[in-house]
Amino acid sequence: EIVMTQSPATLSVSPGERATLSCRASQSVSSNLVWYQQKPGQAPRLLIYGASTRATGIPARFSGSGSGTEFTLTISSLQSEDFAVYYCQHYSNWPPYTFGQGTKLEIK
Amino acid sequence: EEQLVESGGGLVQPGGSLRLSCAASRFSFSSYWMSWVRQAPGKGLEWVANINQDGSEKYYVDSVKGRFTISRDNAKNSLFLQMNSLRAEDTAVYYCASDRTNYYDTSGLRYWGQGTLVTVSS
C-alpha cells in the first residue's frame, strides 16, 4: 500500500500571499496524483489531477507540480474562500487509493 | 449540474447492518466506476470501495473486506453499500463519488455527494 504524507499539517498564510503545500508518496506514483479541497461541512472538491491539470472551473491561481514521489500544490494569491483543508490522493497501483492526512490552510 | 445524493445513514448498534444508497443524476452514471469514501469525525478521507461500470469488478480497503459489499443498478442510476458486522470504527460520513472511466483514466474522483452519517454505537 502506498502511503501519502502531507506537510505541513497546518499552514498559516495571509490573504493575498502564496501558499505552498507538499505531498510525498512512499513509492513512485508517476504523475497519478490528485488534489482535493474540503471546506467545513462540505464534500471534497476535485482541484488538480494528473499532478498538474486543473479540474473544470478551478481558478488559475491553483497549480500543481511534481512527479514520482514529490508533489506540490501552490495557491498563488490566497483568497478568503481558499482557506480549507487540502488532501492529496494517489491514483496509481490501486487498490487501495490512499489519501494524505490533509493540510489545513488557515488565515494568518 | 451533476448530482449525487446519499441516503440510508443513521445510528446502528455494533454488529448491526446498514445499507447506504447513492442516487446519481445529470451525468452518465453507467460510464463511470463509482467509489465510496468515508471520513470519521474530525479525521481525514479514507477510500472504502469501488465498482466498475457493469459491476463485475469490486475492490475494498482491507478493513472492510468480508463485511461491506458494493453494488450498483445502472437502470436506476444508483450505487449501494451494504455494511454488515458494523464496528465503532466504521462511524463516519460516507460519500459516494464518481471514479475512473477506464483503467487508464487518472482524473480523480470528480463528482461527490453531500455524504450520509453512519454512527455505530450502543
Q: Does A93 touch chain B (CB under 8 A)?
A: no
Determine whether the interchain pair B44/A96 forms a contact, defined as Cβ–Cβ distance below 8 Å. Answer: no
For B45, the closest of A32, A53, A87 (CB atoms) is: A87
- CA dist B6 and A108 (Å) reads 36
Instruction: Give the angle subtended at the CA of B118 by the CAs of B115 and B122, to the nearest 5°.
Output: 165
If you average pLDDT over residues A26-44, what whole number do you get? Answer: 97
Kindly report the number of other CB atoms within 10 A of residue B69's CB atom: 16
> Tens of pLDDT along B48-106?
999 999 999 999 999 999 999 999 999 999 999 999 999 999 999 999 999 998 888 88
Q: Are the beta carbons of A15 and A80 closer than 8 angstroms? A: yes
With CB atoms and an 8 Å threshold, state whether A99 touches B46: yes
- Average pLDDT in chain A: 96
What per-residue confidence (pLDDT) applies to A92? 84
A99 chain-B contacts, CB cut-off 8 A: 44-47
Check residue B104 and give its pLDDT.
87
Q: Which residue has the cell 460519500?
A: B95
**What confidence tens digit (pLDDT) does each residue in B12-48 have?**
999 999 999 999 999 999 999 999 999 999 999 999 9
pLDDT of residue A95: 86
Query: What are B33's strand-pairing partners?
Result: none
Residue A50: list chain B partners with CB under 8 A.
Answer: 106-107
Q: Say if the Cβ atoms of A96 and B106 lie within 8 Å.
A: no
Instruction: Please classify residue A53 by burial: count the beta carbons closer than 10 Å to its beta carbon, then call 0-12 exposed, 13-18 middle and 19+ buried.
Output: middle
